[in-house]
């Protein structure tokens, strides 16, 4: 019997015996093994949509500040098919981020009122309500005449 | 003649194999048999060399954790009839080194557990004559869920971070630390914080949430860890901003 | 070496996690609607806010402040999530220090860029 790394010797009284534990390797595609793992990785990758949104917003801000023509040029650029597709995908991932974030918020925030724990659904509900309010506010500010 | 169901069981005999193999056994399909009963039947009637851990057979000792059809389960709490016509794949608990057959090496967890001091830590002990430390039902409610842990380690098996990095302290150890942090009788929160706020402690967790899904006792270790992150982060900020005397 | 990394990890990890959390909240609240409006609705012609009106909104110091906070926090949120995704997803634990420094350098450079763009737009 050959020895290898990770083997060790145990003693029981006078008897010594060799233990060779088997360590299964972790596949690089471990996250494809389960639907929940895949969902987790997609959720984490939504951070790329967040980074893209920041970049896009900065391009927008620069276009707006430079005035009419530059802004029109920006809108034309943003209308290009591959930019639209990119933004559709980014929007989907941003929604994934927001929904998973608000659903998981109750796990970290435990609030006790008068000795009772506030139900997780109330915490998540408040987060969603805040989301609606902020979105409505932003839309109103941007779109009002 | 009772129906049978096939149990595909991992075998690993280090004295003559370098890798595990799979052996199939046809086990009687009784309505009230758990997977553990199937394993016991194999050991008693078919192959006495099959090695596995079990004890209470009622989901309280935490000994019989194994992978059943790829999911970490207590074999005493998984019924053969849950798996239709089979076959039922029984493998050793994922994420741990396999010693033999279905027996895994849990010494890593046993080493980590005492490090988080899973007992009541007091700075000042009351004299015995003063009586017990009293606790209201609401105070017990604060940590009750986390006290349900039976150390079965299904959560470690489900956790991809632990599989990738065995240095990670892991779900059960942190949940148990929280069980005592949130206990009103305990005064050891600072000590445990010191032990767990490092990159392989609570910060290693990326909130996959599989541990909570795998837990047979509803402990919700993922929730415990997220709450702990918030507590630890706020504590760190406070200690950075406030001078020692003011704390 | 490992000990020193562990020590510095104790002070930096909590702060980075708080930035990640704050960034997560900010990104979740503001980015979906902003990308919906400016990434989809405006280019596809569903709405057409005038560029003068938008300039007026941008000129407000409150807008600049909110945008700055939103973008910086979002970048640090990205850095935290992305570094963990690289290390866990691609099994790159050995390159941890490099990946960490890389991601946060990008976040810092990005934040400076945001500051410059917003300053020039005021």
CATH code for the domain in which residue C9 is found = 1.20.1300.10
From C12's Cα to the closest Cα of chain B, the distance in A is 9
pLDDT value of residue C64: 94
d(CA A22, nearest CA chain C) in Å: 20
Longest dimension (CA), chain C: 57
Question: What residue ranges of chain B are covered by domains with CATH 3.10.20.30?
Answer: 4-104
pLDDT at residue B38, rounded to an integer: 96
pTM score: 0.89
CATH number 3.10.20.30 is the correct assignment for the domain at B4-104? yes
B239 touches chain C (CB under 8 A): no
Which whole number is the average pLDDT over A78-100? 96
Q: How far apart are CA A102 and CA C101, in angstroms?
A: 29
Region C37-57: what's the mean pLDDT? 92
ipTM of the complex: 0.91
Q: Rounded CA gap, A56 and C25, in Å?
A: 19
Q: Three-state SS for C50? A: coil
Residue A30 in this model has a pLDDT that exceeds 90 = no
- CB burial of A69-84 (b: ≥16 within 10 Å; e: otherwise) equals eebeebbeebeeeeee
- Ordered by where they begin, the domains of chain A are 31-143 (1.20.1300.10)
What is the Cα–Cα distance from C30 to B157, expressed in whole angstroms? Answer: 37
pLDDT band at A142 (very low <50, low <70, confident <90, very high): very high
Low-confidence ranges of chain B (pLDDT < 70): 1, 243-247
CA dihedral of C34, C37, C43, C47, whole degrees rounded to 10: -150
d(CA A124, CA A104): 8
Mean confidence (pLDDT) of chain C: 90
User: Do A117 and B140 contact (CB within 8 A), yes or no?
Assistant: no
- Distance separating alpha carbons of residues C70 and C30, to the nearest angstrom: 8
In this prediction, residue C33 has a pLDDT band, given cuts at 50, 70 and 90, of very high
Cβ pair A84:C29 closer than 8 A: no
The pLDDT of residue B148? 96
Q: Is B68 helix (H, G, I), strand (E, B) or coil?
A: strand
List the single range of A47-61, B105-119, B143-157, C88-102 with lowest mean pLDDT: C88-102
Of A28, A87, A131, the CB nearest to C29: A131
Neighbors of chain A with 3 or more C-beta pairs under 8 Å: B, C
Residue B217 burial (CB count, 10 A)? 18
> Above 60 in pLDDT, residue C5?
no
Test A62 with C29 for CB contact under 8 angstroms.
no
How many domains does chain C divide into?
1
- Show the domain range for C48: 2-121
pLDDT value at C77 more than 80: yes
CA B50 to chain centre: 23
**Residue B139, C-beta contacts closer than 8 angstroms, at least 6 positions apart:** B183, B184
Residue C1: pLDDT band with limits 50, 70, 90: very low
For the domain made up of B107-246, the CATH class stated in words is: mainly alpha
Q: How far does A78 lie from chain B, in Å, by closest CA?
A: 34
**Number of CB pairs < 8 Å for A and B?**
66
Q: What is the pLDDT of residue B171?
A: 95
Note which residues in 197-226 of chain B have CB less than 8 A from chain C: 197-199, 203, 206
More confident residue, B182 or C94: B182
3-class DSSP assignment, residue C116: helix
Paired strand residues for B67? B72, B91
Residue A37, class by beta-carbon neighbours within 10 Å (0-12 exposed, 13-18 middle, 19+ buried)?
Answer: middle
CB atoms near residue A31 (< 10 Å)? 20
**Neighbors of chain C with 3 or more C-beta pairs under 8 Å:** A, B
Give C112's contacts (C-beta < 8 A, 6+ positions apart).
Answer: none
pLDDT of residue A120: 87
End-to-end CA separation in angstroms for chain B: 74
| Shortest alpha-carbon distance between residue C18 and chain B (Å) | 7
Helix intervals (H) in chain A: 35-66, 68-78, 81-108, 120-143
């Amino acid at each position: 019997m050959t020895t290898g790394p990770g083997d060790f010797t145990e003693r029981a009284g006078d008897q010594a015996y060799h233990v060779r534990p088997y360590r299964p390797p972790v596949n690089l595609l471990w996250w494809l093994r389960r639907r929940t793992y895949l969902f987790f990785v997609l959720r984490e990758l939504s951070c790329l949509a967040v980074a893209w949104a920041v970049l896009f917003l900065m391009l927008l801000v620069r276009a707006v500040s430079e005035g009419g023509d530059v802004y029109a040029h920006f809108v034309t650029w943003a209308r290009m098919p591959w930019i639209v597709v990119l933004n559709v995908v980014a929007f989907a991932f941003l929604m994934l981020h927001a929904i998973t974030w608000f659903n998981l918020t109750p796990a970290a925030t435990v609030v006790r009122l008068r000795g009772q724990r506030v139900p997780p659904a109330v915490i998540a509900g408040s987060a969603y309500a805040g989301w609606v309010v902020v979105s409505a506010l932003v839309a109103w500010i941007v779109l009002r005449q | 003649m009772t129906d049978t169901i096939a149990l595909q069981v991992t075998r690993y005999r280090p004295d003559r194999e370098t890798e595990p193999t799979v052996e199939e056994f046809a086990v009687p399909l009784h309505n009230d048999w758990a997977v553990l009963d199937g394993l016991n039947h194999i050991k008693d009637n078919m192959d006495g060399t099959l090695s596995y851990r079990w004890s209470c057979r009622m989901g309280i000792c935490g000994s019989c954790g194994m992978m059943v059809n790829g999911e970490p389960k207590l074999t005493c709490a998984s019924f053969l009839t849950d798996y239709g016509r089979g076959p039922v794949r029984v493998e050793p608990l994922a994420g741990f080194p396999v010693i033999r057959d279905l027996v895994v090496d849990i010494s890593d967890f046993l080493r980590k557990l005492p490090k988080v001091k899973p007992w009541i830590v007091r700075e000042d002990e009351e004299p015995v004559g003063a009586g017990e430390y009293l606790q209201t039902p609401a105070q017990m409610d604060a940590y009750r869920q986390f006290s349900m842990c039976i150390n079965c380690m299904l959560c470690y098996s489900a956790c991809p971070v632990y599989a990738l990095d065995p240095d990670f302290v892991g779900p059960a150890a942190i949940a148990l630390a929280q069980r005592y942090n949130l206990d009103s009788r305990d005064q050891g929160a600072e000590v445990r914080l010191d032990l767990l706020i490092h990159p392989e402690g609570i910060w290693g967790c990326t909130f996959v949430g599989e541990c909570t899904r795998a837990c047979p006792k509803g402990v919700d270790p993922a929730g415990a860890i997220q709450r702990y992150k918030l507590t630890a982060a706020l504590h760190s900020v406070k200690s950075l901003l406030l001078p020692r005397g003011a704390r | 070496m490992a000990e020193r990394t562990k020590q510095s990890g104790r002070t930096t990890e909590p702060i980075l996690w708080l930035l990640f959390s704050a960034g997560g909240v900010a990104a979740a609240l503001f980015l979906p609607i902003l990308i919906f409006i400016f990434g989809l609705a405006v280019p596809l012609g569903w709405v057409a806010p005038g560029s003068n009106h938008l300039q007026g909104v941008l000129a407000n110091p409150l807008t600049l402040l909110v945008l700055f906070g939103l973008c910086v926090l979002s970048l640090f949120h990205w850095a935290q999530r992305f570094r963990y995704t690289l290390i866990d997803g691609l099994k790159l634990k050995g390159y941890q220090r490099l990946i960490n420094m890389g991601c946060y350098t990008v976040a810092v450079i990005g934040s400076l860029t945001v500051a410059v763009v917003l300053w020039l737009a005021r």
